[in-house]
């Protein structure tokens, strides 16, 4: 199981970079994980 810390860290970097495809991918991953 993936630990919450790295996931939040990566998602934060993605959001700060503001890449739409990556944000969409992260959103899908978060939905699947929760």
Complete DSSP assignment for 1-34:
---HHHHHHHHHHHHHHT-HHHHHHHHHHHHHH-
Question: Is the model's pTM score more than 0.75?
Answer: no
Total number of domains in the chain = 1
Handedness of CA 12, 3, 31, 25 (dihedral sign): positive
What integer pLDDT is reported at residue 31 of this predicted model?
A: 78
- For residue 11, what are the contacts with CB-CB under 8 A and spacing of at least 6? 26, 30
Domain that holds residue 27: 4-33
Structure-model confidence comparison of residues 23 and 28, the more confident one: 28
Write down the mean pLDDT value for the chain: 65
Residue 4 has what pLDDT? 56
Mean pLDDT of 16-33: 70
C-alpha–C-alpha distance, residues 3 and 18, integer Å:
23
């Amino acid at each position: 199981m993936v630990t919450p810390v790295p996931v939040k860290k990566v998602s934060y970097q993605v959001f700060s970079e503001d890449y739409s495809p990556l944000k969409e991918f992260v959103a899908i991953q978060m939905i699947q994980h929760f």
